[in-house]
Structure 1
Amino acid sequence: MDASIDRVLATFLDLVRIDSPSQREGEVAAYCIRELEALGFDVRVDDSARVTGSNTGNVIATLPGNRTDAPILVLSAHMDCVQPCEGVEPVVEGGVVRSAGDTVLGGDDKVGVAAILEAARRLIESGAHRPALRVVLTVAEETGLTGAKALDPRDATGDACLVLDADGEPGGIIISAPTHYTFEATFIGRASHAGVAPEQGRSAIAMASAAVCRMELGRLDDKTTANIGSLIANGATNVVTARAVMTGECRSRDVGRVEQVREVMDAAMRDAAVAHDGQVDVTWTREYAGFDLGEDSPLVRLACDACRDAGLIPRLESTGGGSDGNIFSAAGVPTLVLSCGMNEVHGTDESVAIADLRSLVALVEAFARRMTGFPQ
């Protein structure tokens, strides 16, 4: 058996055993820094911790190509995991890695991290033509892509970027992702005794409820969704509630459509407040911009060819979720998000097939070779 096959599994098992909830990625970062420096990368940690609150910054590692005119390939994954992710004990059985206990496995996104480290090793060890490599390992992805947002865009600059952070079997290529807006709305009414003088009150809860009733929520079309996440209004049952805070979102792979939905949701909240003789303060945040790559774009064609080189069937897919890839793409970096073999992510039934981990490494290696014009 190829020693590198056992090696990538060993790396993955090492990584999942290291606790790395969001904002506590320091030990995983230290592990990756040691591995990358041993391969000859120039490694540094940025100052994003001052923004993210993590105990480390994003890890940025660079290695020149072995030709003077070599293109730059950016390889990215995130180091944090969702809870419960502490004390993970992986179990390998039947060619699949699972968690032994009441934790997630941490394949999201330590599969991506392990594959990047192994693909870099194999490219270096082969001595064949390869691009310059830039590895970007981010923090706090699971808390709103915070690490990628705090990254200096110049640290992700390259001719192509592969973000290894989508579920499904390797071969999946995300070519479209949504623009995502969130809001926080504070409804202000007037308090009064609910039993003695309710007519003198103005219920903030009634305003928020009326606003929700004016909104179309759920899946609005094949590219667009909208949702209300929370409504918080603490008060006694005998008091007409004077203040309520509501949060929600809308997202779409059609930029014009998401703006339209945002305007409708915003108007629903403002109209409801006026109708109930109250006020509302609405703050919208664009969490990230979407991207939409054509099926015939050179980057997509290159990825499809690399899939076939690696013995995989390419699948062009769209997603309703976001990733660090949205941030890099918005910064002007040609970016693809790849399926990594993760299954049942964010749950205690999460698993990764060893064969998929190996295929992911082969795909990254094949993509790198394709970039240089020497696919074999």
Structure 2
Amino acid sequence: MTQKPYRLSVPESDIDQLRQRLAQTRFPDQAPGSPWAYGTDVTWLRELVNYWQTRFDWRAQEAILNAFPQFMVPLAGIDLHYLHVPGNGPNPTPLLLLHGWPGSVFEFTELIPRLTDPARFGGDASDAFTIVAPSLPGYGLSFKPGQRRFGVEQIAEVFATLMTDVLGYRRFATQGGDWGASIASRLGMAHPDKLLGVHLNLLPLRRDPGLIGADSPAELAYLKELGRWLREETGYSAQQGTRPQTLAFALTDSPAGLAAWISEKMRAWSDCDGDVESVFTKDQLLANISLYWFTGAIGSSFWPYYARQHGPWPIPDGSTVDVPLGYCEFPAEIVRPPRSLAEKTFTDIRRWTVMPRGGHFAAMEQPQALAEEIRAFYSPLRVG
């Protein structure tokens, strides 16, 4: 398993072709009612597509990613891409940093320096981490056409091998949101001897109303929140989890369609009060969307949804995660289970923090606040 340095460089012909496709976009009409009421607003998307075609600088985004050391290694039949960024401190702790859908390693460009070099941001150098931030198998630069597909359980095994067998870390920390939270939790269950702890900004608990206690006000409030989520916000998951191939045709062929599909989630799941550009710049949105476009990985990125829909829960019935847990509850997160439910899966909750601002994309929305929480959680768990 030989690691090879990697540098992202999309062919100029691919960039030219993207601009040509954007210029030929065929937009739908705007449905009656308020903007965004039925999905992505047409007027807003027209502006984003025009910016993408005429002003967006992909090379500048490449340079942001290429400022971090990147590598490829053959694992589990694929070429796995990852960032491996050394910490600046006396004894940096290895931290496996995990993104989800519809994200990528671009989510972490502001968070990573705050973890590798905390002294630069007002923290203590003794709290530094060495970051390993992989592209999930089937996502972005960890995808090639025709490769095998991965669910959460398989991804967790790939990353356990990466951290211990490839990089030589006997024990390591983890952090994740979205699918990254499920993968980190699975690692905590399956490989507790390898983990210092699990830090999450989304709790990957079963979304089963039957598990709610009728005598718990907090759980009943969560049941109401969960009901709205299941009723109004899970159409994407049903499609990606049942007919991923059909959806992949449209989103692989139409950059505007891909942008509409991803941007709607960036708006709906972030703490933006309906104005997605109050939290993310166009360049941030399009860097992530462009990576999906240039790699052609949108279809394979759906596979964890299909695997979950058609297989067991990553934490099987009767199993628990017994390594230390730290959790940040951001107010605009998609669902916010109460601690009483979390304790049924996570038996050693060491830190539970309710954050004042932020949503599902915490590493992008609140990088400083998230970094401080990660450092505070792992500070007493570090090994010499």
User: Under a length normalisation based on structure 2, what TM-score does the superposition of the two structures give?
Assistant: 0.33
Q: Name the structure, 1 or 2, with higher relative contact order (CA <8 Å, separation 6+).
A: 1
Normalized per residue, the structure richer in strand is 1
User: Under a length normalisation based on structure 1, what TM-score does the superposition of the two structures give?
Assistant: 0.34
Q: Considering only CA atoms, is the larger Rg found in Structure 1 or Structure 2? A: 1
Normalized per residue, the structure richer in helix is 2
